[in-house]
Amino acid sequence: METNNQNAATAPEKKSGNKGFAIVFILLIVIGTVYGVIKYLHAQKHEETDDAQIVSTISPVIPRVSGYIKEVRVKDNQIVHKGDTLIILDDRDFQIALDQAEAGLTSARSNVHVAGAGIAVAQANERASRVSVSTVEAQIEAAKVNLWRAEQDFDRYANLIKDHSITQQQYEQALATKQVAEKQLAVLESEKQSAARQAAAVGQQKSVSTGQASVAEAAIKQAEAQVETAKLNLSYTVVTAAIDGQVGKVNLQPGQYLGAGQSVFNIVPVSDKWVVANFKETQLTKMKVGQKVTVTVDAYPDTTLEGVVASFSPATGAAQSLLPPDNASGNFVKVVQRVPVRIDFSKGDNPAFIEKIRAGMNVLVDVHLE
């Protein structure tokens, strides 16, 4: 009797347990089905990826001249503004170079004054030579007249001497006057040639002086360029921030030598950030520029940001890598490629939070396809 009673009591308990299990199983199926339907419907209108990071412009601090550090005015992670002084280099060598360039400019300007004075002297000599030539030419004309008159007198006296109408002394006097006039004309013509040669020499001297003035003026421009270069190099000894942002790690000490073009540390903008999401190529079918995007930062999962699809990379990440794969060699295994997509944050969307996040942080990206 007791055994029968125990069996009768156990049977309802088994039926009750089976019923509870069936209910739980049915609930799980229903929940799974609802979840699957929701995910399917969501997938029709959304594309998601967690292969995405915050990206920002990184401005390297690079000195333009070589030198030893005199002073470091920034610390690790310091906020700086455009134009703030970051590093000061020892400028004594550059100051000496500037002084030398300025002395060269002064010398070049003095040479211009000297060349100008030479041109003035050459011009005065040229005018004097022209006057001398003109004077000699006038004297030659007068000498020609005298010679003509002497020749006429001599011809008359020569005829008269034949008739013994004049004395021999008068004839010889006329001959002497003619010869003197001829000699005087010859002397004046020689002087004219000499004056002409002197005038040509003065003209060449003027050309030389003009050329020297041009050379001196060119030397001034060259010296001015050297002065400007020296001033620029001197100004480059003060290294300033090119943008507003936050300084990274500053591993510099006074007395350390820096080479021109050497990157010493970086400045990261505080607010200029965007997202680069690497979507599978099969996810790009319905994606296009301008679609709305929801961004969730892993470090702050309770805060979301709004953005838009800005652009698509012209090549996959693998194609742009240092060693791209060569599918023409070896055995081919098809691998789904990823394409970088730039996502810009919406203007005015929580700027304080955007300043809070850091470049390189991982984010979850949800693109709204409609």
Average pLDDT, integer, range 3-7? 50
pLDDT, position 105: 86
How is residue 278 written in tokens? 């690497």
- Pair (241, 314) in one structural domain: no
- Pair (186, 285) in one structural domain: no
d(CA 302, CA 364): 12
- Pair (261, 282) in one structural domain: no
Residue 316 lies in a domain: yes
- Pair (201, 247) in one structural domain: no
- Pair (257, 217) in one structural domain: no
Average pLDDT, integer, range 144-169? 74
With a cut of 80, say whether residue 81 has pLDDT above it. Answer: yes
Residue 14 lies in a domain: no
With a cut of 80, say whether residue 20 has pLDDT above it. Answer: no
pLDDT band at 125 (very low <50, low <70, confident <90, very high): low
Q: What percent of the chain has pLDDT over 70?
A: 79
Q: Higher model confidence: residue 46 or residue 112? A: 46
pLDDT band at 149 (very low <50, low <70, confident <90, very high): confident
Mean pLDDT over the full length of the chain: 82
With a cut of 70, say whether residue 82 has pLDDT above it. Answer: yes
**Distances from the Cα of 52 to the Cα of 97, 169, 214, 288, 354, angstroms:** 51, 131, 65, 17, 16
pLDDT band at 253 (very low <50, low <70, confident <90, very high): very high
pLDDT, position 203: 63
pLDDT, position 1: 46
pLDDT, position 49: 93
Q: What is the CATH number of the domain that holds 175?
A: 1.10.287.620
Q: What is the CATH number of the domain that holds 295?
A: 2.40.30.170
pLDDT, position 209: 61
Q: How many domains does the chain have?
A: 3
Which amino acid is it at 299?
A
pLDDT, position 206: 61
pLDDT, position 110: 79
pLDDT, position 312: 95
- Pair (163, 210) in one structural domain: yes
d(CA 158, CA 153): 8
Element (H, E) at 187: helix 168-235
With a cut of 70, say whether residue 8 has pLDDT above it. Answer: no
Residue 346 lies in a domain: yes
d(CA 134, CA 128): 10
Average pLDDT, integer, range 133-156? 75
With a cut of 90, say whether residue 231 has pLDDT above it. Answer: yes
Other CB atoms within a 10 A radius of the CB of residue 114 amount to: 14
pLDDT, position 341: 96
Q: Higher model confidence: residue 211 or residue 51? A: 51
Give per-residue pLDDT as tens, 162-216. 777 677 777 677 777 777 877 777 776 777 677 666 666 666 666 666 666 677 7
Catalogue the long-range contacts made by 204-211 (C-beta closer than 8 Å, 24 or more residues apart).
Answer: 205/122, 205/125, 206/119, 206/122, 206/123, 206/125, 206/126, 208/122, 209/115, 209/118, 209/119, 209/121, 209/122, 210/119
Q: Higher model confidence: residue 121 or residue 21? A: 21
Residue 196 lies in a domain: yes
Give per-residue pLDDT as tens, 278-321. 999 999 998 999 999 999 999 999 899 999 999 999 999 888 88
Residue 13 lies in a domain: no
**Distances from the Cα of 57 to the Cα of 86, 305, 313, 321, angstroms:** 19, 19, 17, 20
- Pair (205, 303) in one structural domain: no
- Pair (215, 350) in one structural domain: no
**Dihedral sign, Cα of residue 42, residue 47, residue 52, residue 56:** negative
pLDDT, position 117: 62
Range of the structural domain that residue 79 is part of: 60-89+237-266
Residue 1 lies in a domain: no
Residue 151 lies in a domain: yes
d(CA 73, CA 260): 19
- Pair (67, 99) in one structural domain: no
- Pair (145, 127) in one structural domain: yes
Average pLDDT, integer, range 32-55? 81
- Pair (124, 257) in one structural domain: no
pLDDT, position 355: 86
Closest CA to 57 of 327, 238, 256, 246: 246
